[in-house]
Amino acid sequence: MNKRFEKLEEKLDLNFKNKNLLVQAFCHRSYINENPDFNLGHNERLEFLGDAVMELVVTEYLFQNYPEKAEGDLTDWRAALVNTKMLSDVAKSMGLSKHLLLSNGEKKERGKAKQYMLADTFEALIGAIYVDSGYEKAEEFIKNNLLVKLPEIISLELFKDPKSELQEIAQEAEGITPTYKVIEESGPDHDKNFRMGVFLEDRKLAEGEGSSKKEAEEEAAQKALEKKFN
């Protein structure tokens, strides 16, 4: 393990028994394609596991600490905690972006594509911690780095669904229900990207992008709220 991963391990207060797991958590599939002699796999299996561990830790925490809250509220809070933007923001603040193992092409990616990579790496790191040190260590990591964002989410109401909020405001202000249309669809079936527009009748308010129509619609609604109604 090279020096930069040793420093990261120290910075994150982690102590991997299997140091290769830490490195693998940062290895994007594209890096393997350009470095066939690399002796570790990419991080997608660790990401798959880490996503499940993260969901359980967050769900259990919300269930235990907010007994008075209904299932719907807890679901909204969890969604705000584990979405791509939040995970990528947390990963960036932790300095994870400097350690990504990417192909030369992927290194040039910005915006949404980079956001997805960071979120995936954060999940893969959780998966690696779980495999190496068990549930309690993974839980501690999630609490220290992700669940600390919950008070801000609650106080700023970041959990509110932008589509519902836009619909409520648009109906009240103009008596019209927003509609969503696909502007562009690109990428292979396993890695789709959608650009959706949100409209009031024939008037386009904003556009959004995402790896699913739902995600792109939510971004479009959020941009419409910021642009038109703030």
In the block, tokens 């890096």 appear at: 31
CB 159 within 8 A of CB 141: no
Please report how the helices 135-145 and 111-133 are oriented relative to each other, as an axis angle in degrees rounded to 10: 140
| Cα–Cα nearest to 25, from 4, 47, 8, 6 | 47
Q: Which residues are catalytic?
A: 51, 123
